[in-house]
Amino acid sequence: MGKSTLFNRITRSRKALVDDFPGVTRDRIYGDAQWDEASFTVVDTGGFSEFESEEFAHLVKYQIMQAMEEADAIIMLFDGREGVTPVDVDLVQRLRQSSTPVFYGVNKIDEPRHESLMADFSVLGIEPLYPISAEHRYGMGDFMDALTAVLPQTAPETASDRIRLAVIGRPNVGKSSLINRLLGDERLVVSEVPGTTRDAVDTICKVNNKEYVLIDTAGIRRKKQVKKKIEKFSIIKALKSLGRCHIALVMMDAVSGVTDQDVRIAGYACERGRACIVLLNKWDLVKKDSATAAQYVQKVKDRLKFMNFAPVSTISALTGQRTFQIFDLVDTVYEQYTTRVSTGQLNRIVKTIVSQNEPSIYRGRRVKFYYSAQTSVAPPTFVCFVNYPEGIHFSYERYMINQLREALGLDKTSIRLIFRKREKK
């Protein structure tokens, strides 16, 4: 039918496995997408089966229904070459009862002359029907314009907005315990059983007359360890919470040390451009010596080299040790995360950085930097216009980022650096 192909087209990725026989996708797959100014999350699901006795059919159906309940919009995809099937008729009847906007796309309409295939679907009595080709992009512009028009609009950020903190980590590292400690109240359910928190919970915390929003999330397990159906959707919601926070408080268990899953979770936050603070919890249970704290911090930074800018703090949610010092770090990180640099200052700094160490020759030609500008904050994003963007090696990009950090005092936040070709006038 092409659901996974459409998913890959919208997210501009190859996350979904695509093949020529039905039933390839059994679990839900999520991906971040953007169309014009709209940013949203797409969830790929398995297909409804005509044969309820088919292996895994009932599990796939459950996953689909869960995804539909949580969606802001639903895409119902038909196979234009196959025509209307009994499963299509049944699904349309179900969707008529839904209060969620539904967009009906007829796939495999690769060009205008194939639109005659649309006539078969008129018997369903639904409109509008969008002729599209997930593989060849035909009709995708009109389809995506209509789809994104109904999605919730993100409120513009203002200086008065509360700083939003998402507490993320493996199950049972103390996320809810930390929030309860900060709130001074048993507002959230805390349990020694991993997986207590299913949904993301937002709570306002006031410290020194300043308000913060704390977002508690479900523990993120390794994929092969996720067995219960409800846990799979909890993980998706936890990752979605990263999209609406400013700073991710990445909690780790100081007793068990930094695990591969800890590294993976920190990577999720970095990929989404969040500012990060690493919290080593249960510090009260670690045997102490004079070098312990420094050694632990260094181990974390060694494992998280891709985000060595993130501050690391040792805490105990149980005893309250250094928990309220987190907010001092939050304020510092947020200030850097939302820093804006004047164009003049930025160009002077870039000129100095390049003059001290010029990029390598590209195909016999010198890479030239024309001018630079900051395009956004959270994180600070800088665009450099050059003659050969493809000629800048990743090691030189890393060099420039490190130099920008030092020159701008942005040692505790991620930085995005983009190289673009200058358009000729």
Weakest mean pLDDT among 55-69, 161-175, 197-211: 55-69
| pLDDT category of residue 304 using cuts at 50, 70 and 90 | very high
Strands 247-253 and 275-281: parallel
Q: For position 32, what pLDDT does the model report? A: 74
Q: 184-200: per-residue pLDDT in tens? A: 855 544 444 444 444 44
Closest by CA position to 321, among listed 277, 283, 279:
283
351 vs 35 pLDDT, higher one: 351
Consecutive H or E run containing 327: helix 326-337
- Domain locations along the chain: 3-149, 163-337, 343-421
Q: Considering the chain, what is the average pLDDT of its residues? A: 82
DSSP letters for 166-227:
EEEESTTSSHHHHHHHHHTS--S---SSTT---S-EEEEEEETTEEEEEEE------GGG--
pLDDT at 48: 59
Tell me whether domains 3-149 and 163-337 share a fold. Answer: yes
Residue 160 C-alpha from the chain's centroid: 24
Terminal-to-terminal C-alpha distance of the chain: 45
pTM for the model stands at: 0.62
Mean pLDDT throughout 203-207? 84
CA 29 to CA 198: how far, in whole Å? 18
- For the chain, give the percent of residues with pLDDT over 70: 78
Instruction: Specify the pLDDT at position 225.
Output: 44
CA–CA separation, 297 and 145 (whole Å): 47
Alpha helices in 12-125 (DSSP H): 57-70, 86-96
With bands split at pLDDT 50, 70 and 90, how would you rate the model's confidence at 139? very high
**208 pLDDT band (50/70/90 cuts)?**
confident
Task: From 344, 263, 346, select the one nearest 308 (Cα to Cα).
Answer: 263
The four Cα atoms 258, 279, 154, 405 give a dihedral, to 10 degrees, of: -90
HSE-up of 285 (CA within 13 Å, CB side)?
A: 12
**Read out DSSP for 212-273?**
EEEEE------GGG--SHHHHHHHHHHHHHHTT-SEEEEEEETTT---HHHHHHHHHHHHTT
- List the beta bridge partners of residue 383: 373, 418
Please give the pLDDT value at position 53.
45
Q: CA-to-CA distance for 148 and 32, rounded, in angstroms?
A: 13
Write the class of the CATH domain 3-149. Answer: alpha beta
Whether residue 1 is predicted with pLDDT greater than 80 in this model: the reply is: no
CATH architecture observed for domain 343-421: 2-Layer Sandwich (3.30)
CATH number for the region 163-337 comes to 3.40.50.300
- Per DSSP, what are the bridge partners of residue 39? 34
Q: Which residues 6+ apart lie within 8 Å of 278 measured at CB?
A: 250, 252, 266, 300, 304, 310, 311, 312, 313
Q: What is the pLDDT of residue 141?
A: 93
Max intra-chain CA distance, the chain: 77
With a cut of 70, say whether residue 56 has pLDDT above it.
Answer: no
d(CA 75, CA 71): 10
What tokens were used for 63? Answer: 């996953």
> What's the pLDDT tens digit per position in 222-265?
544 444 444 445 566 667 778 789 999 999 999 988 998 899 88
Mean pLDDT of 363-379: 94
Q: Which residue has the higher pLDDT, 154 or 312?
A: 312
Which residues lie below 8 Å from residue 229, measured CB to CB, with a gap of 6+? 59, 62, 63, 66
Q: Which residue has the tokens 């512009």?
A: 141
Angle in degrees, 0-180, between the axes of helices 343-356 and 394-408, rounded to the nearest 10: 130
62 confidence band (pLDDT: 50, 70, 90): low
Most confident of 86-95, 268-277, 288-297, 352-361: 352-361
pLDDT surpassing 60 at residue 80 = yes
Cis peptide, bond prior to residue 171, ω within 30 of zero: no
Ramachandran angles phi, psi of 307, nearest 5°: -140, 50
